[in-house]
Amino acid sequence: MMKIVKIALSSAALLFAVGITTQAQAADGAELYKTKTCWSCHGKDANTPIMPIYPKLAGQNADYAFNQMIDIKSGARSNGQTAAMKGVMGLVTEEEMRAIADWLSTL
């Protein structure tokens, strides 16, 4: 019986920690969006880019946005519109990309 209680408490603690991490990532994603200058081109609300050819990012699928950032950083995606992002993405870690992408998906 004691073993079951320990397992249940461990599971609850893990779920609580995951919830805190998710909330922290969302807050971090919003802050990173600002500090990494994403807003400069994509708009403060991620929905009003400065040029019509730049994508609106608000509400974008998190995995899709993350994969696009990875591909731009690695050079796998290198069409004409990625040139401006290539330099910026060199300053963003994968963990930061994930936080930004997760936050964008909540908008």
More confident residue, 41 or 27: 41
All residues at 6 or more sequence positions from 60 whose CB lies less than 8 Å from its CB, including other chains: 101, 104, 105
pTM of the model: 0.74
Q: Which residue has the tokens 């995951």?
A: 18
The rounded Cα 6 to chain-centroid distance in angstroms is: 34
All residues at 6 or more sequence positions from 43 whose CB lies less than 8 Å from its CB, including other chains: 49, 50, 56
Question: 2-105: what CATH class?
Answer: mainly alpha
pLDDT of residue 81: 81
Token pair of 90 as six digits: 């060199």
62-76 per-position pLDDT tens digit: 999 999 999 999 999
pLDDT of residue 3: 58
Confidence of residue 32 (pLDDT cuts 50, 70, 90): very high
Amino acid letter for position 9: L
3-27 per-position pLDDT tens digit: 554 454 454 444 444 444 455 555 6
Residues 64, 69, 70: CA angle, nearest 5 degrees: 95
pLDDT of residue 18: 43
Domain residue extents for the chain = 2-105
pLDDT of residue 25: 52
Token pair of 80 as six digits: 């004409």
